[in-house]
């Protein structure tokens, strides 16, 4: 240990807790040469979620194969493609995407995150089970209901985990007149190796990508940074306690009490910058930015956050319609010229498509994100679209629930009596719509972490045949007992001439 635990007691405690969780909850990696049996699972995507889900599968004895569209260099998904200055905005305690992950600090950078993903990938023997440069164009079933990826040469699978994420190719719009600008123009994810010291940077966009660009500007010691945002977005402090408290809204929507955290944020976090806080939408309607440095840079005069619309470009910068608070996009304002040496397009990423799934996965009104537990298409309980259907949330995406979603799928594949029928999957979706009828967004367009835990709890409690799987689903332990019960049930079914569970995609539970 390269630090004195007496001088850093909280860091020592965090390391100790992670070590204990790893010992208690990490499934054992397969021994070399072990033969894993069915059900066999195809994981689509080798990003953080795909690697974590595959490690859970193989650690619990399920054979697995990962299909990744990109080359080996893109192991880690979006984290393999962002700037070296990028890092976690939320505390790493909320980003432990597998029990064996061992963070050394609260806010690891991009290299540390990719390192943890790679270490997990190797630890669970996933190197030999990953096919790079293999884009999944379609998945379909054979005559026995097994899944085929692209064509039969890739093998047959009993279950699918789609882990394509929410960030695909960099979104780089071409704006009229941009060619007039004499400086450089980059996407916010392509800044590694670029020079910004002593220069004025103009960032177009006001979301998470803008924060990524601002981190680069601070690291490179840019002289001044202008953030040009079309609309206001909630910013919350980089504080794990506050982040957890905000994610405890079990209703997953704006309520009559939402004004309380919003007021507290304005008074104690925004303070003199309260003008930047949104007034046209609440905190529990979209994913907030988690960053305290933004406020610090603005107060220091090193950054300026401007609300308005891009009107055009000059050789020296951007013609900008600066709007007052409350004026909608396109409304009246003051036209100014923002001068800069480089422009950064913080315009985010295209969302990867799920169109490789069967067409009936998108039947209205049960199309993503309006799926069972938001990840299971009602027509296909053997398909889990882990971390790629959500729209907005407060809470970590890439934490404890990757394992829970994966183990729910493993439960469905292992035990036919737990496998939901399409009718009941759709009724759960309808029920959630009713419960969130007054939400300002769609019922599944925004959720909080506590709401997600309620979904999981309901899933297990609703069906008595799932009760025996509770410890396994929530913690990854106790798989042996329910597995023995299922084996006994299978023997009984076979004795009475009743066969069940041969098609892993057919629901049978009530």
> Residue 321 phi/psi, 5° resolution?
-90, 100
Residues 267 and 410 both lie in one domain:
no
Rounded to 5 degrees, φ, ψ at 94 are -95, 10
Where a domain ends, among 326, 345, 364? 345
Express each pLDDT in 442-477 by its tens digit. Answer: 999 999 999 999 999 999 999 999 999 999 999 999
For the cut 90, the answer to whether the pLDDT of residue 397 exceeds it is no
Residues 79 and 187 reside in one and the same domain:
no
The average pLDDT across 214-222 equals 92
163 in any annotated domain: yes
Residue owning tokens 């960030």? 167
191 and 155 together in one domain: no
CATH code: domain of residue 271: 3.50.50.60
- Domain shared by 135 and 185, yes or no: no
Q: Which domain holds residue 308?
A: 178-345
Give the pLDDT score at 2. 59
Asked whether residue 276 falls in the same domain as residue 357, the answer is: no
Work out how many domains the chain is built from and give that number.
2
Residue 508 lies in a domain: no
Residues constituting the chain: 510
Contact 407, 159 (CB under 8 A): no
DSSP 91-123: -GGG---STT---SSSS-BHHHHHHHHHHHHHH
Average pLDDT over residues 70-77: 96
Question: Does 3 score more than 70 pLDDT?
Answer: no
pLDDT at 440 exceeding the cut of 90: yes
Phi then psi for residue 509, to 5 deg, are: -80, 165
Q: In whole angstroms, what is the distance from residue 164 CA to residue 134 CA?
A: 13
Is pLDDT above 90 for 320?
A: yes
Domain boundary among the residues 306, 324, 345 is at 345
Residue 68 lies in a domain: yes
**Statement: residue 487 has pLDDT above 80:** yes
- 311 — phi, psi (to 5°)? -105, -20
- Considering the domain architecture, whether residues 185 and 332 belong to the same structural domain is answered as yes
Counting residues of the chain whose pLDDT is more than 70, the rounded percentage is 96
Share of the chain above pLDDT 90, in %: 78
Q: Domain check: are 338 and 394 in the same one?
A: no
Listed residue (354, 364, 352, 410) closest to 385, CA to CA: 354
Check whether residue 317 and residue 412 sit in a common domain: no
Two structure tokens written together for 227 = 């953030």
Same domain for 147 and 16? yes
- Cα–Cα distance measured from residue 337 to residue 182, given in angstroms and rounded to the nearest whole number: 15
Is residue 508 predicted with pLDDT exceeding 80?
A: no
**Is residue 506 one of the residues assigned to a domain?**
no
**Does residue 509 register a pLDDT over 80?**
no
> Rounded mean pLDDT of the chain?
92
- For residue 439, being part of any structural domain is answered with yes
DSSP 399-456: SHHHHHHHHHHHHHHH-GGGPBPHHHHHHHHHHHHHHTTT-SS-TTTEEEHHHHHHHH
Task: Look at residue 504 and tell me if it is in a domain.
Answer: no
| Banded model confidence at residue 5, pLDDT cuts 50, 70, 90 | low
Alpha-carbon distance of 214 to 227, in angstroms, equals 8
Q: What is the pLDDT of residue 278?
A: 93
Selected residue with higher pLDDT from 437 and 498: 437
Q: For position 497, what pLDDT does the model report?
A: 60
Confidence of residue 498 (pLDDT cuts 50, 70, 90): low
Among all chains, which residue has been given the structure tokens 């990826």? 149
Q: Is residue 4 included in any domain, yes or no?
A: no
Distance CA 314, CA 152 (A): 56
- pLDDT of 500 above 60: no
Q: Phi first, then psi: give them for residue 498, nearest 5 degrees.
A: -110, 120
Whether residues 225 and 283 share a domain: the answer is yes
Higher per-residue confidence, 208 vs 308: 308
Q: Of 293, 327, 345, which one is at a domain's C-terminal end?
A: 345
User: Of residues 396 and 366, which shows the higher confidence score?
Assistant: 366
Among 53-67, 285-299, 417-431, 494-508, the minimum mean pLDDT is found in 494-508
pLDDT per residue as tens digits for the range 74-119: 999 999 999 998 988 888 988 999 999 999 888 999 999 999 999 9
Among 307, 359, 360, smallest CA distance to 330 is for 307
Residues 321, 446 share a domain: no
20 within some domain: yes
Looking at per-residue pLDDT, the higher value among 388 and 499 belongs to: 388
Q: What is the CA radius of gyration of the chain?
A: 24
pTM: 0.93
Co-location of 46 and 122 in the same domain: yes
């Amino acid at each position: 240990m390269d630090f004195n635990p007496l001088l850093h007691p909280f860091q020592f405690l965090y390391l100790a807790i992670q070590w204990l969780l790893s010992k208690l909850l990490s499934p054992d990696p397969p021994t070399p040469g072990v033969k894993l049996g069915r059900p066999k699972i195809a994981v689509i995507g080798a990003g953080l979620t795909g690697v974590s889900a595959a490690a859970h599968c193989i650690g619990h004895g399920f054979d697995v194969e990962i299909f990744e569209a990109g080359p080996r260099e893109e192991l880690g998904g979006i984290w393999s493609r962002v700037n070296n200055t990028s890092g976690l905005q939320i505390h790493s305690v909320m980003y432990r995407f597998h029990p064996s992950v061992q963070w050394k600090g609260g806010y690891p950078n991009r290299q540390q995150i990719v390192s943890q993903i790679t270490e997990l990938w190797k630890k669970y023997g996933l190197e030999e089970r990953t096919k790079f440069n293999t884009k999944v164009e379609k998945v379909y079933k054979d005559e026995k209901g097994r899944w085929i990826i692209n064509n039969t040469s890739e093998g047959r699978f009993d279950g699918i985990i789609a882990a394509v994420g929410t960030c695909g190719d960099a979104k780089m719009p071409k704006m009229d007149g941009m060619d007039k600008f004499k400086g450089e123009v980059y996407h916010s994810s392509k800044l590694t190796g670029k020079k910004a010291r002593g220069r004025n940077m103009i960032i177009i966009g006001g979301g998470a990508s803008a924060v990524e660009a601002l981190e680069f500007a601070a690291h490179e010691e840019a002289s001044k940074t202008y953030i040009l945002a079309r609309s206001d977005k909630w910013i919350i402090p980089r504080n794990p306690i506050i982040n957890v408290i905000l994610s405890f809204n079990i209703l997953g929507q704006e309520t009559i009490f939402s004004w309380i955290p919003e007021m507290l944020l304005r008074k104690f976090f925004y303070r003199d910058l309260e003008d930047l806080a949104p007034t046209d939408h609440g905190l529990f309607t979209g994913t907030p930015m988690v960053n305290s440095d933004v406020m610090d840079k603005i107060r220091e005069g090193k950054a300026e956050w401007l609300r308005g619309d891009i009107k055009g470009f000059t050789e020296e910068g951007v013609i900008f319609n600066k709007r007052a608070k409350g004026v909608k996009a396109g409304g009246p304002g003051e036209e100014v010229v923002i001068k800069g040496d480089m422009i950064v397009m913080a315009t985010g990423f295209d969302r990867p498509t799920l169109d490789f799934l069967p067409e009936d996965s998108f039947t209205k009104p049960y199309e993503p994100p309006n799926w069972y537990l938001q990840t299971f298409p009602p027509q296909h309980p053997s398909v889990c679209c882990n971390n790629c259907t959500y729209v907005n949330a407060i809470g970590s995406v890439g934490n404890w629930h990757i394992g829970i979603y994966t183990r729910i799928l493993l439960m469905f594949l292992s035990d036919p009596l737990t496998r939901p029928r399409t009718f009941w999957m759709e009724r759960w979706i309808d029920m959630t719509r009713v419960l969130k009828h007054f939400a300002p967004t769609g019922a599944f367009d925004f959720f909080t972490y506590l709401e997600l835990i309620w979904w999981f709890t309901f899933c297990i409690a609703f069906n008595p045949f799932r009760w025996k799987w509770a410890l396994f689903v929530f913690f990854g332990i106790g798989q042996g007992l329910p597995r023995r019960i299922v084996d006994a049930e299978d023997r009984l079914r076979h004795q009475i001439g009743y066969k069940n569970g041969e098609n892993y995609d057919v629901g049978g539970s009530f």
